Amino acid sequence: MRTTRRDFAKGLLAAGLAAAVTPRRLFAAAPADFDETFAVFLSDVHVNGLDNDPGNGKPFKTTMRHWLKENVAEILRMEPLPRHVFIFGDLAHLQGRLVDYKRSYPDLKLLIDAGIKLTIGMGNHDHRKAFLEVWPEYEQRTLVPGAIHTVTSLPDYDLVMLDSLNEKDEVDAWNPAAGALSSASQEWVLSELPKWPRPFFIGAHHPIYELKFGADGKKRLHDYIVKFPNCRGYIHGHDHIWKMNVANWREPRTVPWLTLPSNGCWGDIGYVTMRVAAGKWHGRKVAQAKFVQKDFFLGSPVPQEKRNPVWDARMADIKGAKCTFVL
Question: Coil, strand, or helix at residue 247?
Answer: strand
**Is 159 contained in some domain?**
yes
Higher pLDDT pick, 103 / 3: 103
Give the per-residue pLDDT at 249.
Answer: 84
CATH number reported for the structural domain that contains residue 73 in this entry: 3.60.21.10
Question: What does the pLDDT average to over 249-263?
Answer: 92
Average pLDDT for the chain: 90
Contact (CB, 8 A) for 259 and 268: no
Whether residue 27 lies inside any domain: the answer is: no
- Chain centroid to CA 259: 11
Taking 80 as the threshold, does the pLDDT of residue 60 lie above it?
A: yes
Q: How far apart are the two ends of the chain, measured CA to CA in Å?
A: 61
pLDDT value at 138 more than 50: yes
Percent of the chain with pLDDT over 70: 90
Q: How distant, in Å, are the alpha carbons of 54, 61, 93, 267 from that of 58?
A: 8, 9, 16, 24
pLDDT of residue 283: 85
**Mean pLDDT for the stretch of residues 152-180:** 97
Does 6 reside within a domain? no
CA 297 to chain centre: 19
18, pLDDT greater than 60: no
Domain assignment present for residue 229? The answer is yes
CA atoms within 13 A on the CB side of 300: 6
Query: How far from 261 is each of 3, 21, 78, 94, 214, CA to CA, in Å?
Result: 51, 25, 20, 17, 30
Interacting residues of 310 by C-beta distance below 8 A, sequence separation 6+: none
Q: Supply the pLDDT for residue 8.
A: 34
Residue 18 forms part of a structural domain: no
Domain with 245 in it: 36-326
Average pLDDT over residues 122-138: 98
**What gap in Å lies between CA 231 and CA 234, rounded to an integer?**
8
Total domain count, the chain: 1
**Looking at the domain assignment, is residue 254 inside a domain?**
yes
Rounded average pLDDT over 225-254: 93
The answer to whether the beta carbons of residues 301 and 131 sit under 8 Å apart is: no
Note the pTM of the prediction, 2 decimals. Answer: 0.90
99-110 pLDDT, tens digit each: 999 999 999 999
E strand or H helix at 259, and its extent? strand 255-259
Evaluate whether residue 166 is within a structural domain: yes
Instruction: Please say if the pLDDT value at position 255 is more than 60.
Output: yes
For 61, residues 6+ apart whose C-beta sits below 8 A from its C-beta are 300
Domain assignment present for 2: no
pLDDT at 121: 98
State the pLDDT at residue 93. 96
